Amino acid sequence: MTALTERTEVRPSSPSARSPLGFAGLIVLLVLTTLFVIGLAVSFGSVRIPVGDVWAIVVNRMLPGVFDVWWSQARESIVVGSRLPRALTAATVGAALALSGAVAQLVTRNPLADPYLLGVSSGAGFGVVIVTVLGFGAGMLGVFTVPVAAFVGAMVPLFLSLAIGGRYPQPTAIILVGVALAQVFSALITFSLLVLADERQLGSVMHWLAGGFGDARWSTMIFPVSALATVGTAMLWSARRIDVLQTGDDGAAALGMNVPRFRIVHLLGVSLLAGAAVSVAGGIGFIGLLVPHLAGYVVGIRAARLLPVAALLGAVAMVGADTAARSISSSLEVPVGVVTALVGAPLFVWMLQRRYRRAER
């Protein structure tokens, strides 16, 4: 987890998007890119399916009779039953993490904030340990057992952070409590795995902690999709008020904003989005930290532009990472969190070097 004990002042960007396409054109391009990447992800696998066939199958499922069927039933089952829900889940989780990461960075005015700053990832991991290792509620909800356990576990450090840190006037108190709780839950996970877990349970939990979409189903998409549709829309709706916060706490308060309450509500939304994403994908890092910076390079830091661009870039990045994870080895699926870390960490360091070199000039 990232400790957020310092504030970084952020200068407002110009109102115009930096993209030569214009903001509307950029959004259209990103939507088309997202659809293209999803099509490639569904196409790729042990059985290669042409992208044209993929979209024909999808359209024909939505509007029966549009095409004369030329594909086999087996291919349709692969597309609709397995690969498409996986790709869509990856896109939804990527959008949720990138959007929540962007909001976290804006409302804390700290470029190192990420969606897990209140300990939701560690709490979710411990929820999975309770079900997998300790056996409480195992199998009770069928395929929903692990996602529900992860989501409930993610909410525990969130509400403890609000209950404990919310007693103090400084907003950083909530964040610091969240960081401390993340370490506590990480320690509980480690203790449970080392002392209580057998080899099978250890492998299962470690695979979940590394992150991935191997268990993605149409039914389990309900968690990230619902969170993105409700919490994500609310965040986009409050973009102008988020921009007001960039003038500083005193300036925002002078304009009539209740800054502590506004920040707490949005950190709650960040954690809800992250918790829903983690519940189906595990702890996937760097998407929520890195993608908002990439979006900022394209459109600046105005929330009304940054948030939707970050969400779409996050969807593209996550689908790409999941496809790469499935492609590295024919006999073993690499956890998506490994791919995002190996690619994201060097890229993030390079971006920091560029920023600091520019500041020195």
- What's the pLDDT tens digit per position in 150-198? 999 999 999 999 889 878 767 778 888 999 999 999 999 999 999 988 8
pLDDT digits over 209-241, tens only? 888 898 888 988 998 999 999 999 999 999 999
Orientation angle between helical segments 303-327 and 336-360, nearest 10 degrees: 140
Per the structure block, which two tokens stand in for 212? 């991935």
Range of the domain at 144: 23-360
Of the chain, the percentage scoring pLDDT greater than 90 comes to 47
Residue 176 lies in a domain: yes
Let me know if residue 5 belongs to a domain: no
Give residue 361's pLDDT: 66
What is the 3 state secondary structure string of 282-344? CCCCCHHHHHHHHHHHHHCCCHHHHHHHHHHHHHHHHHHHHHHHHHCCCCCCCCHHHHHHHHH
- CATH number, residue 47: 1.10.3470.10
Under the banding of pLDDT at 50, 70 and 90, the label for residue 4 is very low
Q: What's the structural domain count of the chain?
A: 1
- Assess if residue 173 is contained within a domain: yes
In a domain, 166, yes or no: yes
Global pTM reads 0.88
- Residue that the structure tokens 């509620």 belong to: 137
Which of 9, 14, 5 has its CA nearest to residue 251?
9
Rounding to the nearest 10 degrees, give the CA dihedral for residues 4, 7, 11, 17: 10
In a domain, 15, yes or no: no
